[in-house]
Structure 1
């Protein structure tokens, strides 16, 4: 069962209850008890205290209608940037709350039997910021790109029960948002649909190969690094493009370091999550 092997099993299906209705997304471990996903999976943009999901469950390595080999882990709490909470994030004109700088969230997972999910799974993904593993190249019209592996549970394919993987070049996009500030996103070619939201965008995915002779892995020696999560896509059939908020410094989170947890939005979110509950990290 490939989805139960490393490093696939660090990803899983996310169920969220808003009122009496359940919805699905994707999420992945970046600390032993902390998930990364999209903010819109756990909160309705700009709705403040009324916008939160009431319940969150994560099924690692989900592969059937009833889950996967480890059942589910319950969310203890879920955190999003304040600008997403109050509806003041930098977003694309005409796509407020959809194509934005900071559609990211963290979820703390309750341990089961005193054991955190990452301990049971045997690890978790790393995360990077400010264009980690991206490269400016003339081959793609001087675009800044990275080879990205996307993981998700799109509900339009296999009823959303099966974990899907896609591989594509992701292109860094910068444009002026509706508030006049710089909007940073990554876009890639993808046939995934709703349900894939929150799924990890990884560089250097997979186990490290054995290198002999004169070969060198360079930065690829650091494996399974999340540099974004699926945030948005087109609803029109045949437009196979999805996007993710850029992990790193932006107009809302300009600092180069938030504690020891990195730069920009991702650094702030992990710092906030781990400082508030270090046992999960």
Structure 2
């Protein structure tokens, strides 16, 4: 299945340059078992080709059930910055100016297709003037449908569609921004560290790693606990190896919009030795309460604050995916941010069971994320050895 088109940046952004299994090994050690009418057009956080039509015969009553077998075919990998010199080149590429000017990945087709790349010079462009992308119209009022401004930091709530996270804890360190170059333009996403024996793995959306059937991202860098003006209190980590699910790489299947990256060290230290990592769970029960985190960059957000949504997960009402929905008005830039179940607001820890992937055009206040089943586990098993 290929749902499609980005949750677009609004005019202000462009004007300004636009049984369940739990994996939880913090270091080499034992694994820990634990408790994880026809639809309208779709807006993606990433740019993709439009769906061919309704998914006949598909339901959202349960996870996809790929046939058992080795990871071969389920995982596609790519070597990124292998040597120290290559990793240094990547980190040197991301000057504070480039980081500030990077755009949400949802603008990929517009920017690299030649529509905006030469015109992002601070000249305002009305949202209503945005062209159609594929077969899906842009929602001109998207920014207005989000909260009027990031809410002031306050005690975490179990129900919110987008508030600044001010409670600290592990999640404020393990969640970060991703910076990458695709087709010659610079973009941003969100991601989270994951506890693994290698101590180097982060999880994000597949479209934040590879452009579906197209190119792999370059200059891929993770900045945990990202701060204002490009600050990086816990270091910057270049990608060594990148991994996406086979269904994503072969057909941009949104049920498997999952990517994982094995990072290089920073100052000789592995990323989870510095910031820790969240547990990750597979084949977890559907539904229940979840907290989603990310760095939205479209108005009313600016990409320099960690934002969260919290609420009950529910199946896709249009039955166009096996993804689950979470009430969330976070905007583009939050793609790939982690969804945590069993989340403890006091400690900032939980189990990653999904991530921010796409929205439907008629419901900008609901985010959808892929279910982490057998293929997601194969992806993690490969990445932790990367």
Q: TM-score, normalised by structure 2?
A: 0.52
Partner of residue 313, structure 2:
170
Mapped to 1, the partners of 2:200 and 2:210 lie a distance apart of 20
Note the alpha carbon deviations across 1:170-190, whole angstroms, 9 max, x for none. 11348766xxxxx41111110
Match of 1:231 in 2: 357
Following superposition of structure 1 onto structure 2, how do residues 28-107 of structure 1 map, counting pairs within 5 Å? 28-31=192-195, 32-47=199-214, 51-87=215-251, 89=253, 100-107=254-261
Distance 1:43 1:176, change over 3 A: same
State the 1:153 CA deviation.
Answer: 0.7
Shift of the 3–42 alpha-carbon distance from structure 1 to 2, 3 Å rule, reads: farther
Name which of 369, 373, 386 aligns with 1:244: 369
1:7 & 1:84 partners in 2: Cα distance?
A: 27
Where do 5+ consecutive residues of structure 2 fail to align?
1-164
Query: Counterparts of 1:70 and 1:160 in 2: how far apart (Å)?
Result: 17
RMSD: 2.4
Residue of structure 2 equivalent to 1:110 = 264
CA contact (8 A) 2:293 2:337 kept: yes
Residue in structure 2 matching 1:130, options 258, 271, 283:
283
1:184-263 equivalence runs, <5 A: 184-206=322-344, 223-234=349-360, 239-248=364-373
Output the CA distance in 1 between the equivalents of 2:277 and 2:339: 14
- Among candidates 138, 147, 152, match of residue 289 of structure 2: 147
Indicate the SS of the match to 1:128. strand
Residues 152 and 269 from structure 1, CA distance in 2 versus in 1: closer, same or farther, beyond 3 angstroms? same
Distance of aligned partners of 1:207 and 1:88 in 2 relative to their CA distance in 1, 3 Å threshold: closer
Kindly provide the CA deviation profile for residues 191-222 of structure 1, in whole angstroms up to 9, marking residues without a partner as x.
1011010000001223678xxxxxxxxxxxxx
Cα offset, 1:3, TM superposition: 7.4
Q: In structure 2, the residue corresponding to 1:240 is in which secondary structure?
A: strand
| Distance across 1 between alignment mates of 2:368 and 2:270 | 31
CA drift at 1:68: 3.1
- Cα deviation for residue 235 of structure 1 reads 5.4
Structure 2 contact 245–376 (Cα < 8 Å) conserved = no
Report if aligned partners of 1:193, 1:233 keep a CA contact under 8 Å in 2.
no
The corresponding residue for 1:161 is 304
Q: Report which of the two has the higher share of strand.
A: 1
For residues 101 and 82 of structure 1, what CA distance do their matches in structure 2 show?
11
Separation in structure 2 between the aligned mates of residue 175 and residue 167 of structure 1, nearest angstrom = 22
Distance 1:159 1:147 in 2: 27
CA contact under 8 A between 2:248 and 2:256: conserved in structure 1?
yes
SS at match of 1:184: coil
Contact in 2 for aligned 1:175/1:184 (Cα 8 Å): no
Q: 1 CA distance for matches of 2:377 and 2:324?
A: 18
Where does residue 251 of structure 1 map in the other structure?
none
1:129 Cα deviation from its structure 2 partner = 1.9
Aligned length: 218
| 1:8 corresponding residue in structure 2 | 172
Aligned partners of 2:167 and 2:345 also within 8 Å? no
CA shift for structure 1 position 70: 1.8
Q: Note the C-alpha offset of 1:4.
A: 6.1
Is 1:267 the equivalent of 2:377? yes
